Structure 1
């Protein structure tokens, strides 16, 4: 087994904004290897690329989700996740070279999913969905509550 190149080190995960796109509302998060927030060009490119993947809103597509923008050590990693069919998370992954954020290419088909920092965010969003939607005592999705719940910290 190959020796680790680098031991685990916390990275900032920061809520950036709620992005409104037509009837969609997406939480936007930044994760960075060496800065407080990802490169601004990467943030803009990530929003442009991911928005083109959103399906039409319907009775089973709620129009809410999140974008994770990870300015990593060796490359940029972006993921778009949205909630559908009550309890399903749809996950799309994009990667670009560190020095060329606009070259984001969809890599979902390769099976790559998430690193340990991305998983922290995905786990948080799972719990927010459970609390606001699936465990809502009224039996109706509380999408406003879901959108008001976001993660900020070093993990």
Structure 2
């Protein structure tokens, strides 16, 4: 088994994206570049838009979440996540070849969840949700949650 040496990757908050009723934090993770390629970010928004449109109206959600755009070494990973039912994270994964960013394939049914860099974003967002919403249960603060943003090299 050949394993590549671990290399840090920059995780950068790109924007707070408004899509209909949804407010989504968009993050970039990139291999050997500062941020994900613009064409991959746009492809990620396309699949996110499609996935968010399928959220059942019966699901109690908060219309907030995050979108990870990971411009990887051999593959690109996209994850679309949102909060629902108080403490549940809905997580959907898409992958494309690194040389064809727009050819995203839905991977959630395969069991693929995240890579080690993606998990850092998820851990940060979990903490932000707990601090701003769950621990603040008398007055959950979605605005404070949306202002919590990760920018670090991991």
TM-score in terms of structure 1 length: 0.94
Structure 1 residue 141: deviation in Å?
2.1
Structure 1 residue 47: deviation in Å?
0.4
Asked if structure 2 preserves the Cα contact closer than 8 Å seen for 1:57 and 1:63, the reply is no
CA RMSD of aligned residues (A): 1.3
Structure 1 residue 115: deviation in Å?
0.7
- Runs of 4+ aligned structure 1 residues displaced above 4 Å come to 56-59
Query: How far apart, in 1, do the equivalents of 2:84 and 2:58 lie?
Result: 9
Asked if structure 2 preserves the Cα contact closer than 8 Å seen for 1:15 and 1:151, the reply is yes
Asked if structure 2 preserves the Cα contact closer than 8 Å seen for 1:84 and 1:90, the reply is yes
Partner of 1:147: 146
Q: How has the CA–CA distance of structure 1 residues 28 and 58 changed in structure 2, closer, same or farther, with 3 Å as cutoff?
A: farther
Structure 1 residue 50: deviation in Å?
1.1
> In the alignment, is residue 24 of structure 1 matched against residue 4 of structure 2?
no
Residue correspondences, number? 152
> In the alignment, is residue 37 of structure 1 matched against residue 31 of structure 2?
no
Q: What secondary structure, in the 3-state scheme, does the structure 2 residue paired with 1:82 have?
A: strand
Q: Which stretch of structure 1 is more off in the superposition, 106-115 or 46-55?
A: 46-55
Q: How has the CA–CA distance of structure 1 residues 100 and 28 changed in structure 2, closer, same or farther, with 3 Å as cutoff?
A: same
Q: What secondary structure, in the 3-state scheme, does the structure 2 residue paired with 1:101 have?
A: coil
User: Deviation digits for residues 123-151 of structure 1, max 9, x if unmatched?
Assistant: 00000000000000x52321000000010
Where do 5+ consecutive residues of structure 2 fail to align? none
Query: How far apart, in 1, do the equivalents of 2:123 and 2:8 lie?
Result: 16
User: Deviation digits for residues 68-122 of structure 1, max 9, x if unmatched?
Assistant: 0000000110000000000000000000111111111110000000111000110
Query: How far apart, in 2, do the equivalents of 1:59 and 1:106 lie?
Result: 21
Partner of 1:94: 94
Where do 5+ consecutive residues of structure 1 fail to align? none
Question: Which structure 2 residues correspond to residues 60-75 of structure 1 after superposition, within 5 A?
Answer: 60-75=60-75
Q: How has the CA–CA distance of structure 1 residues 96 and 59 changed in structure 2, closer, same or farther, with 3 Å as cutoff?
A: closer
TM-score in terms of structure 2 length: 0.95
Query: How far apart, in 2, do the equivalents of 1:139 and 1:95 lie?
Result: 39
Q: 1:52 aligns with which of 50, 64, 79?
A: 50
